[in-house]
Structure 1
Amino acid sequence: MRIAASKHPFFLAKHQAIPAARARVTAADPCSRHFKRRRISGARRWKAAVASRDADAGGGGEDDDETGQRATGTPARRRAQLSARRCESVRLPDGVSGDAIGAFLRDPAGVESLLNTGALDSFVPGGSGTGTFTCTLRRIRLLGFEVAPVLDLRVVPTGTDCTVEMLSCRFEGSESVEQQNELFSAFMRNHITWNDYGDEPRLAIDVNLEVTLEVYTKPFSLLPLSAVEKPGNLLMQGLLDRLVPKLGEQLLRDYDSWVQQQLEASS
Structure 2
Amino acid sequence: MLQFSAAQSVNITVPQKTIAIERYLQKPQRLVYALMNPDQVESLAFDRFRLSLQPFKFFVLRIQPVVDLEVLVSDTGNVRLRSVGCEIQGSQYISQRFDLNLQGWLEPRSTDAATYLVGQANLTVAVELPPALRLTPKPLVESAGSRLLRGILATIKQRLIQQLLVDYEKWVDSKLAAEAYSEAS
TM-score over 0.5 for the alignment?
A: yes
- Tell me the SS of whatever aligns to 2:117: strand
The CA deviation at 1:111 is 4.0
Pair 1:166 & 2:83 matched: yes
- Please, which of 150, 159, 168 is the counterpart of residue 237 of structure 1? 150
Distance 1:186 1:239 in 2: 13
The CA deviation at 1:256 is 0.8
Distance 2:167 2:105 in 1: 18
Query: Equivalences for 1:139-218 in 2 at 5 Å?
Result: 149-158=65-74, 159-173=76-90, 177-218=91-132
The runs of 4+ residues in structure 1 deviating greater than 4 Å are: 140-143, 145-148
The CA deviation at 1:208 is 0.8
- Tell me the SS of whatever aligns to 2:87: strand
% same residue: 24
Structure 2 CA distance for partners of 1:243 and 1:125, relative to 1, 3 Å: closer
Structure 2 CA distance for partners of 1:190 and 1:117, relative to 1, 3 Å: same
Gaps (5+ residues) in structure 1?
Answer: 1-78
C-alpha contact (below 8 Å) 1:135/1:150 kept by paired residues: yes
Pair 1:110 & 2:30 matched: yes
Per the alignment, residue 92 of structure 1 pairs with 14
Pair 1:125 & 2:38 matched: no
TM-score, structure 2 as length reference: 0.79
Gaps (5+ residues) in structure 2?
Answer: none
Per the alignment, residue 61 of structure 1 pairs with none
Per the alignment, residue 56 of structure 1 pairs with none
- Tell me the SS of whatever aligns to 2:130: coil
Partner amino acid for 2:42?
A: F
The CA deviation at 1:119 is 3.4
What is the number of equivalent residue pairs in this alignment?
Answer: 178
Pair 1:225 & 2:138 matched: yes
The CA deviation at 1:137 is 4.9
Query: Equivalences for 1:244-255 in 2 at 5 Å?
Result: 244-255=157-168
Distance 2:4 2:89 in 1: 23
Q: CA RMSD in A?
A: 3.0
The CA deviation at 1:255 is 0.5
Query: Equivalences for 1:58-77 in 2 at 5 Å?
Result: none
TM-score, structure 1 as length reference: 0.57
User: Deviation digits for residues 66-104 of structure 1, max 9, x if unmatched?
Assistant: xxxxxxxxxxxxx111000011111112x248x811210
Structure 2 CA distance for partners of 1:232 and 1:146, relative to 1, 3 Å: closer
Structure 2 CA distance for partners of 1:237 and 1:109, relative to 1, 3 Å: closer
User: Deviation digits for residues 178-201 of structure 1, max 9, x if unmatched?
Assistant: 332012111112210111124232
Distance 1:123 1:165 in 2: 16
Distance 2:151 2:14 in 1: 25
